[in-house]
Amino acid sequence: MSKITLKLMQHLQRTPQAPVLKDETTQRWFSGGELAADVDQLKDQLHGLHVGHGDVVLVALPNSAVYPVLVQAIWELGAVVMPVAATTTPAGLQALMRQRAFAACVVAPDLLNAAVTALTTVTRLQLNTTDELTLVRDLAVPGNVAATPTEADVALLVTTPQASSPVGLTYAELTTDVTAAIADYQLTATDRALVVTPLAHRESQVALLAARLSGGQVVVTPTFTASQFWPQVETNQITHVSVRPWRLATLLRTLATSPLVDQLHFMTAPTTPTPQPAVHYRIRQPVGAGSWFTNHAKKAIMKGSEQSGRYLRAHLAGTPRFRSTG
């Protein structure tokens, strides 16, 4: 069995009563036992539908508590997850289905009609983490026997700007990313991560896995909303946030009244190439003036150094700390 699937199983087994994951939409915490029960139910259903080792399952869902348990269930069967944006159009989904044979699809309700054909079956489940989840099985795809995955097996098929087709990410590669994230952001069991970036992105999957495998807690929200961000951070006692770099400008324009900002760490993909020191990042001030962040300053904010809160407070107050010398 791959290290990641084994550790995910063990984490839920160690926390049968403890809160592990919160869904911001429903404002509900789920224990390790509740999540494990959902993983088992999903795994049994997918196994019964003959989804197994090497089969690809398309997932087009907004961020929610059911997303990570669905991914874990698919992995425990040795199948592959291809996450795509929940905002994908019906035409876009059908185009993907013409390009690749998916053994099964799990999609948002507005995409269900596009996923169903004359050769599919539809199974609806009620889980702890959701009132209804629909599994669409394509009977034209024979399916494989379930088998525990190895490190060399593909875990995710992810899209990248550099590739014209999805790229396979093995468990070994995913483990490398997750291990790096835990070390880079010094994640521990006392931390609580907020995932606002869509889980269709590789960096979000890595951030969520890093938070879980470090023994910490995770809060999942369906979308990034600037007006709700700081209240979410304060209410949920967040220490780490999975957010894309370009969101920083928006965050810096919003009022941060939470004292937790001094301890807040921003998580990005550990595999993202480090920019050259000469590169500068322009972030617009609330008053319209421009400030320039050198790579050193941006790194401090993104990696959550002890000064990150002070950088944020300075910019929220409209006081530039870093200027371009060129």
Output the six-digit token pair for 154.
């593909």
Contact predicate 82/175, CB 8 Å: no
* DSSP character at residue 320: -
Q: Which of 59, 80, 3, 67 lies closest to 39 in space, CA to CA?
A: 67
In this predicted structure, what is the pLDDT of residue 199?
Answer: 95
Q: What pLDDT sits at residue 257?
A: 54
Distances (CA, A) of 121 to 104, 106, 124, 134: 9, 12, 10, 10
pLDDT digits (tens, 9 = 90+) for 195-208: 999 999 998 999 99
Task: State the DSSP string of 217-253.
Answer: EEEE-SS--HHHHHHHHHHTT--EEE--GGGHHHHHT
- Going from the C-alpha of 241 to that of each of 235, 286, 324, the distances in angstroms are 14, 22, 28
pLDDT at 174 over 70: yes
- Going by the DSSP 8-state scheme, the letter that residue 274 receives in this structure is P
Tallying the residues shown for the chain, one arrives at 326
What's residue 50's pLDDT?
Answer: 96
Measured in whole angstroms, how far is the alpha carbon of residue 165 from the centre of its chain? 20
pTM of the predicted model as reported, rounded to 2 decimal places: 0.83
Describe the chain by its helix, strand, coil percentages, rounded to 5: 40, 20, 40
Give yes or no for residue 116 having a pLDDT over 80. yes
* Structure-token pair, residue 242: 């999975």
Please name the residues in contact with 128: beta carbons below 8 A apart, sequence gap of 6 or more: 30, 34, 35, 37, 38
pLDDT digits (tens, 9 = 90+) for 220-244: 999 888 888 888 988 999 999 988 7
Spatial CB neighbours of 184, under 8 Å, sequence gap ≥ 6: 270, 303
Give the integer Cα–Cα distance in Å for 188 and 214: 5
Neighbours of 141 (CB within 10 A): 17
Report helix, strand or coil for 115: helix
Contact 66, 38 (CB under 8 A): yes
Q: Note the pLDDT of residue 280.
A: 28
pLDDT above 50 (res 326): no
* Counts for the chain of helices (H) and strands (E), in that order: 11, 15
Angle among Cα 174, 178, 180 to the nearest 5 degrees reads: 120
pLDDT value of position 261? 62
Query: 302 or 226: which carries more pLDDT confidence?
Result: 226
Give pLDDT tens digits for 81-113. 999 999 999 999 999 999 999 999 999 999 999
289 pLDDT higher than 70: no
The encoded tokens of residue 130 equal 């959701």
Residue 162 has pLDDT above 80, yes or no: no
Q: What's the one-letter identity of residue 53? A: H
Local structure of 135: helix, strand or coil: strand
Query: pLDDT for 213-224, tens place per residue?
Result: 999 999 999 988
- 8-46, pLDDT tens digit by residue? 999 999 999 999 999 999 999 999 999 999 999 999 999
Q: What is the mean pLDDT of residues 175-189?
A: 93
Task: Say which residue, 297 or 176, is predicted with more confidence.
Answer: 176
Under DSSP, the state recorded for 107 is E
- Tokens 């795809």 appear where? 141
